[in-house]
Amino acid sequence: RKEVEQDPGPFNVPEGATVAFNCTYSNSASQSFFWYRQDCRKEPKLLMSVYSSGNEDGRFTAQLNRASQYISLLIRDSKLSDSATYLCVVNRPDSSYKLIFGSGTRLLVRP
């Protein structure tokens, strides 16, 4: 089983749609959770950290369910510029600084 699993997609949605991505992680001892965005052939960029109580940043909402070891990202009112690959990232329990990246979910927002 992969340490961080994501549906690779692609999710193909029209502008204005709401789309949700899910992610599961295998090690219950992980403490830090993130969503990163990666554009083609570019470095990943932090979209948002994920907190236990859930958090929102504009059109983006992240949720964490520790009991199910499940993380989600909701994007409302999709824009063309949201087209990218979204990476679910958790820390390695043996080292708080080391990160484990999911292979990403690809989003395509069409006009």
Partner 1 sequence: GAVVSQHPSRVICKSGTSVKIECRSLDFQATTMFWYRQFPKQSLMLMATSNEGSKATYEQGVEKDKFLINHASLTLSTLTVTSAHPEDSSFYICSAVVRSGSANYGYTFGSGTRLTVV
Beta-carbon contacts of 19 under 8 Å, excluding residues fewer than 6 positions away, are 11, 13, 74, 75, 78, 107
Quote the DSSP letter at residue 66. Answer: T
**Which one among 78, 104, 105, 109 touches partner 1, defined by CB under 8 A?**
104
Instruction: Based on the shown chain and the rule CB under 8 A, indicate whether residue 4 belongs to the binding site for partner 1.
Output: yes
Q: In angstroms, what is the minimal distance from the CB of 44 to partner 1?
A: 6
Q: In angstroms, what is the minimal distance from the CB of 47 to partner 1?
A: 13
Instruction: Based on the shown chain and the rule CB under 8 A, indicate whether residue 102 belongs to the binding site for partner 1.
Output: yes
How far apart are alpha carbons 50 and 9 in whole angstroms?
Answer: 21
How far is CA 30 from its chain centroid?
Answer: 15
Instruction: Based on the shown chain and the rule CB under 8 A, indicate whether residue 45 belongs to the binding site for partner 1.
Output: yes
Binding site for partner 1 (CB under 8 A): 4, 8, 41-46, 87, 97-104
